[in-house]
A and B are shown apart, each in its own frame.
Chain A
Amino acid sequence: SQQGEEDPQALSIQEGENATMNCSYKTSINNLQWYRQNSGRGLVHLILIRSNEREKHSGRLRVTLDTSKKSSSLLITASRAADTASYFCATTSGGSNYKLTFGKGTLLTVNP
Chain B
Amino acid sequence: EAQVTQNPRYLITVTGKKLTVTCSQNMNHEYMSWYRQDPGLGLRQIYYSMNVEVTDKGDVPEGYKVSRKEKRNFPLILESPSPNQTSLYFCAAGVLSQPQHFGDGTRLSIL
Residues in A lying within 8 Å of B, measured CB to CB: 1-2, 30-31, 33, 35, 40-45, 48, 50, 88, 90, 92, 97-105
Contacts and interface: CB of A to CB of B under 8 A. Distances in A.
Interface in B30-51: 31, 33, 35, 40-45, 48, 50
Contacts of B43: 43, 88, 90, 100, 102
Nearest to A1: B59
Contacts, number: 59
Q: Interface size bucket, B side? A: 20 to 34
Interface stretch (B14-22, B66-74, B75-83, B94-102): B94-102
A26 to B, nearest CB: 14
B61 interface: no
A35 B104 CA distance: 14
B97 A45 contact: no
Contacts of A40: 88, 105, 107
28 contacts: A33-B99, A41-B105, A42-B102, A42-B103, A42-B104, A42-B105, A43-B90, A43-B92, A44-B102, A45-B99, A45-B100, A45-B101, A48-B99, A97-B96, A97-B97, A98-B33, A98-B48, A98-B50, A98-B94, A99-B33, A99-B58, A100-B33, A100-B43, A100-B45, A100-B92, A100-B100, A102-B35, A102-B42
